[in-house]
Structure 1
Amino acid sequence: MENTIPEFINYLMKVKNASASTIMSYQRDLKKLSVFLEEKGVERIQDVTATNLNSYILYLEREGFSASTVSRNIASMRAFFRFEYGQGRMQEDPAADLKAPHVEKKSPEILSAEEAALLLDQPDCHTPKGLRDKAMLELLYATGMRVTELISVKEDDLNLDFGYVVCRDEEKERVIPFGNAAKEAVGKYKTDARKFLLKGQESEYLFTNCSGSPMSRQGFWKLIKQYAVKAHITADITPHTLRHSFAAHLVQNGADLKSVQEMLGHSDISTTQVYMNLGFSKIKSVYAKAHPRG
């Protein structure tokens, strides 16, 4: 089976235009499946059965993998075997009837407005790195971009005069406005820090690391963790936390869901609805604490 995976990965890249993270996940999941099947004596793609795949799912569950991880592996198998069946290499699709486990949706972790302000105040703005970090954090919180979108922003995508950034995801682009705090932080970074970090190199990307190369997801993840510790914030912060906080704070302060949906780039407004529910939870909590008969 392993020798058929590269063709599928190439299909994801060239035909489906899948993101790098999706491709990496599929490749990792399918290689693990391939090893499992080979250990069971199943080496040819046409010999794989639904029983084999269900055995693998049971193996993942016994090993203690979360329901979301098992579900992602099932999605990888479905996509792969659908492709193989379509290529005529199999008599039937063994993954067609695989059932994903129920995944309980957790409410996203959000910061309070005070915690968000505290986090954004941590970078040392007397250093080029601190100016860059401040600009990245402010722009992320001001726009609700995904981290991959933030690190992919190019200089030409930014309009500081009118306060907006053109943000591109896998399917489309959207224009997101931002306020004075982000405008000031990004402007100061561009003026006082970016050339220093580039070290004489050229880059179309707005944010770079200290070697002048484009900023990575891992690099940004590390710095946001460091600033959370420095700010003594106990919540488990990830780069996505600022995206969730951006949306929740907008909704809590009266923004309409349709506008928030457009800024976040959600294709379905039901995905954005969770932030309305978070706002209602906050109202209920305030009521319970404040009302004399709460």
Structure 2
Amino acid sequence: MSDDANLIERFLEMLVAEAGVSRHTLSAYQTDLEQASAIFGGRLSSADRDAISRLSSHWRALQNSTVARKSSSLRRFFGFLVEEGFRDDDPSDALPRPGLSRSLPKTLSHAEIASLFQLIAEDLGRAPVKASMARLAAIMELLYGSGLRASELVALPRSSITGDKPFLIIKGKGDKERLVPISQQARSAVRRWAEFVDPQEKWLFPSRTGHISRVRLFQIIKEHAARAGISPAKISPHVLRHAFATHLLEGGADLRALQTLLGHSDISTTQIYTHIDSTRLVELVNNRHPLGQVDLAR
């Protein structure tokens, strides 16, 4: 099996496990990726920006909607390759964008987040505390409280949070390290969960064969959402990461600080969050800009 075929297969498996895409959507992704791979002689996964930019000529006769779909498929595929460490750069900005605007990331409201954590607090208030509840509390505190990626969370060593250190050292995309602040509440949740983990374990969230998989992490989050009365389709570890970023921005966080916390190498990736809280930004201009205090009709 070629590299492209193997990586496309793994990508499709991820779509089924983590995104729950339909059979029709999965077939469309597979067709788009296999056709693009054929154009590059089976080397789509390693194609650079110059090569990717030449896809426009191959797709010239197609309708804009078809080009948009193909670009979306490849964009998500390259994002997967970077997320999983199969390549260090994402060349998808060279893909055709036929009149499309970038979609906003899904997020959760403050009320929905409150309901998720209220249910956890109720579960932890029942003695004795179950291991599954202690694990869930630690997972939620780290995903929403620190904005970790799913891949970063599942691979946390058991020793990653020790003593009173107010931060984690995370190895993210491209093996780049960053400091992630950890709240006292998150440290308490992790310490509670660590009591259920064998001190000899390598991983903070172990399984029988290593650490828990991203698929299992998605299942845990979605099961909890259903119990809290939130549609499982609305939530994922990545949605919690987006909620972390959105709510920090709403609270007045600086965009550069948010870029550091999320581990974005390019500020343009972080800037998408400026479109989410438009109401607060309008109020900021009206209330703080000098002209906002002047009645020009007088």
Q: Secondary structure at the match of 1:167?
A: strand
Which moves more between the two structures, 167-176 or 276-285? Answer: 276-285
Alignment equivalent of 1:241, drawn from 218, 224, 239: 239
Residues 266 and 117 of structure 1, relative CA distance in 2, 3 Å threshold: same
TM-score relative to the length of structure 2:
0.63
Q: Does 1:189 align with 2:193?
A: yes
Match of 2:249 in 1: 251
Normalised by the length of structure 1, the TM-score is 0.64
Q: Is the 8 A contact 2:33 2:73 kept in 1?
A: no
**Partner residue, 2:89:** none
Equivalent runs, 1:267-278 vs 2, <5 Å: 267-278=265-276
Q: Deviations over 1:165-200 (max 9, x none)?
A: 111113210111111221111110012x223xx9xx
Give the 3 Å change call, closer, same or farther, for CA 246–98 of structure 1 in structure 2: closer
Structure number with larger C-alpha Rg: 1
Distance 2:11 2:78 in 1: 17
Q: CA offset at residue 213 of structure 1? A: 3.4
Q: Deviations over 1:89-115 (max 9, x none)?
A: xxxxxxxx9846555311112222232
Change (3 A) 1:66 1:113: farther
Distance 1:75 1:194 in 2: 33
CA distance in 2, matches of 1:102, 1:75: 21
In structure 1, the residue corresponding to 2:257 is in which secondary structure?
helix
Q: How far off its partner does 1:120 sit?
A: 2.8
Unaligned residue ranges in structure 1 (runs of 5+)? 13-19, 77-96, 288-294
Matches within 5 A, 1:1-294: 5-6=2-3, 45=41, 54=58, 67-69=71-73, 71=75, 99=96, 101=98, 103-123=100-120, 124-125=123-124, 126-171=129-174, 172-191=176-195, 193-195=196-198, 202-209=200-207, 211=208, 213-234=210-231, 236-282=234-280
Change (3 A) 1:184 1:69: same
Q: Report the alpha carbon displacement of residue 9 of structure 1 after superposing the two structures with TM.
A: 8.3
Distance 2:157 2:251 in 1: 31
| Deviates further, 247-256 or 226-235 | 226-235
Q: Is contact 1:159–1:165 with CA below 8 Å preserved after alignment?
A: no
Say which SS state the counterpart of residue 159 (structure 1) adopts: coil
| Whole-angstrom distance in 2 between the partners of 1:186 and 1:180 | 10
Root mean square deviation, CA, Å: 4.6
Question: For structure 1, which segment, 271-280 or 218-227, has the greater mean C-alpha deviation from structure 2 after superposition?
Answer: 271-280
